[in-house]
Chain A
């Protein structure tokens, strides 16, 4: 049996100009995956979107007192599990307290985490000693 593992570890400055780069990595991964039977174009868009939203969120919550602050994005694929971890050094937030968007009275913000949760299988946000990590899992 052929077991293929992919791991991509990227560290970027907390600047939105890098969102395209990060999203593009997700899109390329979807196109290169072996043995994926689903809609590859849809997966490519979804991974681009989820990585873009998660990274933008980390940049938004970054530590602006530190001009050298960074966001780390770790993508790990093994067997049928795609695992994304996005690390930030901000104050963090309570994922469980983020409400669903009000679809009857839509607002400009607040859709990012909803999109991530809707398109992926598991989302958690954990405070570690020196950073926070948003962990996203998608079963392929």
Chain B
């Protein structure tokens, strides 16, 4: 899975450079988030602009990251979701769990 991690404004921003997150690659996302959190990066924004498809395992990987960050008094938020991806969070009601921002600026305004 192509992931790009950048530190911006003191926040770890993980850019998911894939069009699709499914059961084939979601474990890589889960492991990457876990690794970041274990390294002390506990304020995380996952940027999903490139992602046009996510399945339940992809949602599960993000939820795992959210829980692991929260367990270390951190936070994992999402930014730049496409409409179809956003609808998945609504369908599973995970939009009530994650902070979901329209763009990175809005995320920085609220998370820093």
B59 CB to nearest chain A CB (Å): 6
Q: Once bound together, how far apart are the Cα atoms of A26 and B20, in whole Å?
A: 15
Residue A19 at the chain B interface, CB threshold 8 Å:
yes
Q: Once bound together, how far apart are the Cα atoms of A66 and B26, in whole Å?
A: 25
CB-CB nearest in chain B for A56: B23
Q: Are B24 and A106 in contact (CB under 8 A)?
A: no
Q: Once bound together, how far apart are the Cα atoms of A118 and B60, in whole Å?
A: 18
Q: Are A111 and B93 in contact (CB under 8 A)?
A: no
A115 CB to nearest chain B CB (Å): 6
1/0 per residue B42-63: CB within 8 Å of A?
0000000000010111011101
Residue A65 at the chain B interface, CB threshold 8 Å:
no
Residue B22 at the chain A interface, CB threshold 8 Å:
yes
Q: Which of A17, A41, A114, A115 has the most CB of B within 10 A?
A: A115
Residue A16 at the chain B interface, CB threshold 8 Å:
yes
Residue A124 at the chain B interface, CB threshold 8 Å:
no
Which of B24, B61, B91, B97 meets A20, CB within 8 Å?
B24
Residue B17 at the chain A interface, CB threshold 8 Å:
no
Q: Are B55 and A106 in contact (CB under 8 A)?
A: no
CB-CB nearest in chain B for A113: B56
Which of B24, B53, B97 meets A17, CB within 8 Å?
B24
CB-CB nearest in chain A for B61: A108
Residue B12 at the chain A interface, CB threshold 8 Å:
no
Q: Are A41 and B22 in contact (CB under 8 A)?
A: no
Instruction: Name the B residues within 8 Å of A48 (CB-CB).
Output: 53
1/0 per residue A25-64: CB within 8 Å of B?
0000000000000000110010011001100100110000
Given A45-B53, A101-B92, CB of A19 within 8 Å of CB of B60: no
B25 CB to nearest chain A CB (Å): 8
Q: Are A45 and B84 in contact (CB under 8 A)?
A: yes
